[in-house]
Amino acid sequence: MLAVYKDLKEQDRAAASKYGISEEILMENAARGVLEFLKETGLFGKKTLIVTGSGNNGADGLTLSRMIQNCSVFVGLKPKSELCKLQFERAKKLGVNFVTNTDGFEVIIDAVIGSGASKKLEGELEGLIENINGQNAIKVAIDVPSGVRDGMGMDETVFYADFTVTLGAYKESLLQDYAKEFVGEIELKELGLCSDKYREGFTPTSYLLEKSDLHTPIRNKKNCNKGDFGHLCIVGGEMMGASIISAKAALRFGAGLVSVVERDNTPLNEPQIMVRTSFPIGANTLLIGQGLGCAYGEDEILSFVKTTNRCVIDADIFKKECVKDILALNTQMVLTPHPKEFASLLKIAMNINATVDEIQRDRFGFCASFCKMFQDKTVVLKGANTLIAQNDKIFIMPYGSATLAKGGSGDALAGAIASLLAQGYEPLEAATNGTLAIAAAANRYEGADYSMTINDLIDGLKWL
C-alpha cells in the first residue's frame, strides 16, 4: 500500500529546511519527472502544447517547455508568482515557441491551476479548458487536473486528463470519487529526493491499496473439515435474492458453511445453502441488512446481532433507529453503506444532516468523523474509489469500475467480507481484502463491461 496525504505543502517546506532543496530545485525535478513520463509512454517527440497558468503549476509547465524545447506554450494566465515569472523569462530566452491557438496538437499538457490553488475556473479560463477538452489529443495533467480541488469538490469545468503525473506523493484530491472521471491513469514521480526522505516525519492521512495487498484465503491444513473455515449466518429479508447472492459469494470465497435464516423456511433452490428459521447453533459470524426490508422488527434485528461477536451490517439496517444500539455493542463489526445509506447512518447515529452530494465532496472527512466517534468499528463506504476506515486509518480501494455498477454487487461484497470474517480475518483485514477481491473479480471479466452478471462476478472469485 502507498501513503496518501491531504496536501504536500509541509513536505515541500521540509525538503528546503532539512535537505536544502529549494522550491526552485523541486520545480526542476517536477518538470524532469513529467519529461521522464513522456519518454516512458512514447509521447515525447509528438506535437506538444503546454498550457500554463499564473502560479507554480504554470511554472512547472514552463520549466518543462525548455526541457522539451520543440514544444509550444499557450499562456492561459499571465505569470504572477515569482517562480512563474522567472521560468517564463527563461523559456523566452531559450526560444520556446509561444502560441495563441490551441488547435492541432497531438499532446496537450495542463499546467494551469494544479493542487492547492484558490483560483476558480471561470470566464475565459473556463472557456480555455473547455476548448482543450474538445481537442483530439492525448491529455496530461501536471500534479492535479485543473478544476479538481483539495477536499473542496471540483469546479463546473475540469480538465479531462488521460494521465495525471502527480509529484512527491499521492494526494487525496486525486482519489476522491468525483475526480475519478478526470484524472485518468495516475503516475507518481519523485522530486529529486527519494520518497521515504520526502515523506519522513509526516503521517499519511490515508493509504492507497495495491493489487498486491490482496490476501485470499489459504487452506494449508490437511486434517480439517468444513467447521474449520467458519459458519456464516445470513438473515434473509423481503428480497431473498440479495441473501442468495451474499451466500453464494461467501461460499465461493471460502466459508465452510453458510446458513440463511428465513422466517417461512422457504426452499431457496440452492442446495449448498442451508435454510433455517432461527440463528443456527455454531455460527460464528452474522450478515444482516441486505434486502431486509420490514421482514423483522428492530428488537429482532438487535437480537440477531447480539447472538454473535462478529458481524457485517449492510443496506436497510442503516435506515433503522436500532443501528444506534448496534453500534453500542462490543462486537467486531464491518458496516458497508453506499453514500445514501451513509447519509442515513450519520443522521441516526451522529445527528449529522449531510446530503449525498456533501458526503461525496468530503468522503474522507465524513469517514474520519464517524470512526472517531465509533472506535473499532470498520466502515466500507462504497463508491468509485471505495474507502475502508477504522479508528484513525483510512484505506482507498481504487480498482472499482463501471462493470460493478449493477444491482447485487453490494450483496456480493457483503458476502465476501462476511466470509473472511467467518474464516478468522480481523474486521479491517476482511474489509480491505473483500473489497479488493470483488474489484479484481470484476476486472478479470472478459466480456463487455455492461454484460457482467452477478453470477459472473461471484464465479470470478475462484480465479484470484
Read off the pLDDT of residues 197-215 as tens digits, 9 standing for 90 and up: 888 888 999 999 999 999 9
334-351 burial, b at 16+ Cβ within 10 Å, e below that, comes to bbbbbbebbbbbbebbbe
Predicted pLDDT of residue 448: 92
In sequence order, which ranges of 270-322 are alpha helices (DSSP H)? 298-306
d(CA 285, CA 332): 10
CA gyration radius, the chain = 25
Predicted pLDDT of residue 308: 92
Do 140 and 187 contact (CB within 8 A), yes or no? Answer: no
Predicted pLDDT of residue 304: 94
Predicted pLDDT of residue 132: 93
Predicted pLDDT of residue 263: 80
Do 423 and 200 contact (CB within 8 A), yes or no? Answer: no
d(CA 247, CA 205): 35
Predicted pLDDT of residue 415: 97
Range list for CATH 3.40.1190.20 in the chain: 212-463
d(CA 234, CA 260): 5
pTM reported for the whole predicted model: 0.92
Predicted pLDDT of residue 117: 60
**Superfamily for domain range 212-463:** Ribokinase (3.40.1190.20)
Predicted pLDDT of residue 194: 83
Instruction: Identify the CATH number of the domain defined by range 2-205.
Output: 3.40.50.10260
First to last CA, the chain: 19
Regions of the chain short of the pLDDT cut 70? 116-119, 150-153, 265-267
Q: DSSP state, 113?
A: S
d(CA 330, CA 377): 9
Predicted pLDDT of residue 192: 85
Range list for CATH 3.40.50.10260 in the chain: 2-205
Kind and range of the H or E element at 30? helix 23-40
Predicted pLDDT of residue 116: 61
